[in-house]
Amino acid sequence: MRTYQMTKEEALGQSRWYLVDAQEKVLGRLASEVARVLRGKHKPTFTPHVDGGDFVIVVNAREIKLTGRKAEKKIYYRHSEYPGGIRVTTASRMLAEKPEEVVRLAVKGMLPKNRLARKVLTKLKVYPGPDHPHQAQNPQPLAIRA
């Protein structure tokens, strides 16, 4: 008996759309579940080197929770590529200004660091409020434990 390996052609028609409401959810737990679905690990046909995952829409990113003192202690870095161009932002400020970026960066950190993960991350759609433009895809609700 041989081990099943999904091909790119088989993965093309199998993508589904899921909707996640981030209201009052813990950031890390939500991000790990979303990363699992984006990667396709929830399917029995999971193959590590093929993008067999699904699309995920995260709404209400503004209402996400950070446990402990992460709101003040967690720091996000970015660099302008000029000498001395490092910029530092706390999680509370980032949540106030760009809450969708907080969720995107948390999910990105839980994916492998390679070309496939960069492609998989494009299937993540994050919105700060309850509205999203993907009603035509008929997303199914994805249950995530708080």
Whether 110 maps to a domain, the answer reads: yes
Q: Which residue has the tokens 């494009």?
A: 122
Q: What is the pLDDT of residues 47-88, one digit of tens each?
A: 999 999 999 999 999 999 999 999 999 999 999 999 999 999
pTM of this structure: 0.92
Whether 119 maps to a domain, the answer reads: yes
CATH code for the domain of 22: 3.90.1180.10
Whether 136 maps to a domain, the answer reads: yes
d(CA 82, CA 99): 26
**Tally of domains in the chain:** 1
- The pLDDT tens digits along the chain (146 residues) read 888 888 888 888 888 999 999 999 999 999 999 999 999 999 998 999 999 999 999 999 999 999 999 999 999 999 999 999 999 999 999 999 999 999 999 999 999 999 999 999 999 999 999 999 999 999 999 998 76
Whether 105 maps to a domain, the answer reads: yes
Residue 66: Cβ-neighbour burial (10 angstroms; 0-12, 13-18, 19+): middle
Whether 84 maps to a domain, the answer reads: no
